[in-house]
Amino acid sequence: MTNLLSLWREHPVFLRECIFLSLISIAFAAGFFFFLFRRKMKLAQIYFLSMMILGSLYSFVLMPLSAPDEVLHYVSAYALSSEMLGQGGRLYDEDGNLRIRKEDEEIDDWTGDGKPEEATVFGMHIDRAQIEERQQASFFAKEKGYGFTLQKPVKTTPLAYFFPALGFSFARILYASRFTLLYFGRFFNLLFFSILGSLAIEKIPMGKEILFSISLFPMTLELISSLSYDAYILALSFLFLSMVFEYQFREEKLGIKEIVWICLIAIALSPCKMVYSLLFLLCVMVSFKRFSSPWLYFIGIFAIGLSIVLPLLLVNLDAFSRYVRPQEDTVNLSNIVGQDGGMETYNRREILAQPDVYLKILRNTFFIKGKEYWYTMVGRPLGQFDNRLSFPVPLVVLFSICPFLTGIFGEREEMQGKKLHFLQRIVLFLIPLGLIVLILSSMLFAYTPKRTDYVLGVQGRYFLPVLPMFILCFMPSKRVGRQGERIVSSVLFFQILANLLFLLYTYISLFLH
C-alpha cells in the first residue's frame, strides 16, 4: 500500500487513470445491476452496452498488440487500410515489406526497449515505460514521411479485417498518432462484434444467456477488444448459431431469403479459417419440413456448399494445396522446438496408415495439454502467455460453470411446443467434438515435428466458437420462470464484477512492476 501511495504521488496521471477506471467500474456495475435485475432493457441491448464498455476497459488496460498474434493482425488491417485509401499501387517495396507511416514505425520496432538491434513489438510485454509513453501520447501524429515494417500480414479473407482497417483509415485521414490509430482499429473491431453479438442474442430462441456468459470470459473480452480476427470469427459463429435455431423453431416457413443469409455468413466465415467451415454442418438441425418447398431444402444445401468451397479455395488455395500434397509438409519450427532450422512435420499418409499412432497422439494431447486448453479458453493467462495477466484459478473454475448455469436457468421463448430432440442434441455434441479433432489434426500435420507425441500450437481460444453448441446440447427445454431469471442475472452480475476487479488489479500491478 505504501508503494502504491508513493506511486500515486510521483505519477499523478496514473492516479487519475486509476480513479477514472474505478468510477467507470462502479457506474457500470450499478447500471448493469439495475437494468438486468429490473429488466428495463432487452437483454440484447444490455449485452451491446456491456460488450462496448467492458471491451473498451480491456483495450485500455491490456494495451494494443498485447493480444495473441495481434501484431500480425495489425499489419493485415494496415495493408487493407492502405488499399482503402487508394495506396494499393505503392503498398510494398521490392522485398515485399509493407509501407507504413513513419509515425507508426515505433509500433513494431519500439525504441523504448533500449535495444536498437532488436525489433521489439510495442505492447507485447506490457511494462510501466509503455504505459507512461501512452499517457504522454498526443491525439495527432508528430512525424511525417513513410517507412516499412518487416512484419508480414496474415493471408486470409480481407473481410476479416474490414472493420479494424476502417478504423485505421479514419485515423490516418485525421493524421492521428500511432496510439490513436491502434485504438481506432480496436474500437471498430469491438463495435462489429458487439453489433453481431447483440443480433445473435436477439434472434436465438434459447441460450441467450449462454452467449452472454461466454462473451464475459476474459479471453473473449481480450480478443474482441483487440485487432484479432478472432472477434470476427466469434461474431459470425454466434450469429450463425442463432439463425439456425431461429429457423428451426419459428412458426413461419423458410424461403430463399433465409438461405441467402446463411450463404452470406458462409462466404464471410469459411475462408477466414478453413477448420470453421465444419460449423455449417449445424444446418442439418433444420428439418426439410421447415421449408416452403422440399426443393428449396436441396437448393439450400447446394448453395451453402458452394458458398463454403468457392471462397475457401479462392482465398486459401495455397494452403489447401499443401494439405493435399503431404510429401511437401515441412515447416520452420525454430520458435517452437528451439531449433535453428526447419523440421519435418507429421505426414498424413503415414499417419493414416497407422491409425493407432494417430489416436495415441490425440490421447496424449488431451492428457498433457487438456488443462492448458481449458485455462486458455477462459483466460489464464492472457496476452502473449503473460503470467502477470492470469485470471485466478478459482475464478477460471467458476467462470467455466457460469455458462452451464445460464443454460439451465436461462430464458426460453415460446416455441410452439417444440424442443430439442435427441438427434439434434447429438449434432450439437458431435460438431464441437469434430472441430476439436480437426483443429488438432491440422496442427499435427502443419505444426508438430515428428517424434513429438502430442500436438503443438493449439490454444483454448480456438474452441470458443463451438462452446455454445456444446452447452446447448445439455440444456433442458423446460421454462424455469422468474426464479431462474434471478439466478441467471446473479451469475452474469458476478462475471461483470469479477472482470472489473481483475482489470483494476491488473492495471495497478502492471504499473508497479
CA 104 – CA 178 distance, rounded (Å): 5
The CA-atom distances, in angstroms, between 443 and each of 410, 440, 453 are 36, 5, 13
Res 339: pLDDT: 44
The CA-atom distances, in angstroms, between 507 and each of 131, 265, 387, 449 are 10, 37, 14, 38
CA 393 – CA 256 distance, rounded (Å): 48
The one-character DSSP state at 123 is T
Residues pairing with 331 in the sheet: 343
Res 162: pLDDT: 96
Res 190: pLDDT: 97
The CA-atom distances, in angstroms, between 67 and each of 58, 293, 333 are 11, 47, 21
Res 318: pLDDT: 66
Closest CA relative to residue 502, chosen from 337, 379, 417: 379
What does the block give as the cell for 133?
509513453
Res 194: pLDDT: 97
Residue pair 120/110 in contact (Cβ under 8 Å)? The answer is yes
What does the block give as the cell for 380?
489464464
CA 251 – CA 8 distance, rounded (Å): 60
Residue pair 195/355 in contact (Cβ under 8 Å)? The answer is no
CA 55 – CA 234 distance, rounded (Å): 14
Closest CA relative to residue 241, chosen from 476, 428, 426, 461: 428
Query: CB-based contacts of 219: which residues, under 8 Å, 6+ apart?
Result: 376, 377, 378, 379, 382, 460, 461, 464
**67, HSE (Cβ side, Cα atoms, 13 Å):** 27
Res 327: pLDDT: 44
pTM for this model (two decimals): 0.92
With helix as H, strand as E and coil as C, how does 370-407 read? Answer: HHHHHHHHHCCCECCCEHHHCCCHHHHHHHHHHHHHHH
Q: DSSP 3-state assignment of 209?
A: helix
Residue with cell 503473460: 386
Q: For residue 362, how far is the Cα from the chain centroid?
A: 24
The CA-atom distances, in angstroms, between 454 and each of 162, 335, 372 are 36, 17, 13
Res 337: pLDDT: 40
Question: Over its length of 513 residues, how does the chain's per-residue pLDDT go in tens digits?
Answer: 666 666 666 777 888 888 899 999 999 999 888 887 776 688 999 999 999 999 999 999 999 999 999 999 999 999 999 999 988 667 888 778 899 999 998 888 888 777 777 778 888 888 888 888 888 888 988 888 888 888 888 888 999 999 999 999 999 999 999 999 999 999 999 999 999 999 999 999 888 999 999 999 999 999 999 999 999 999 999 999 999 999 988 888 888 999 999 999 999 999 998 899 999 999 999 888 888 888 898 999 999 999 998 888 888 766 665 555 544 444 434 344 444 445 677 777 777 778 888 899 999 999 999 999 999 999 999 998 888 899 999 999 999 999 999 998 877 665 555 678 889 999 999 999 999 999 998 888 878 887 788 998 899 999 999 999 999 998 887 766 677 788 899 999 999 999 999 999 999 888 876
Res 338: pLDDT: 40
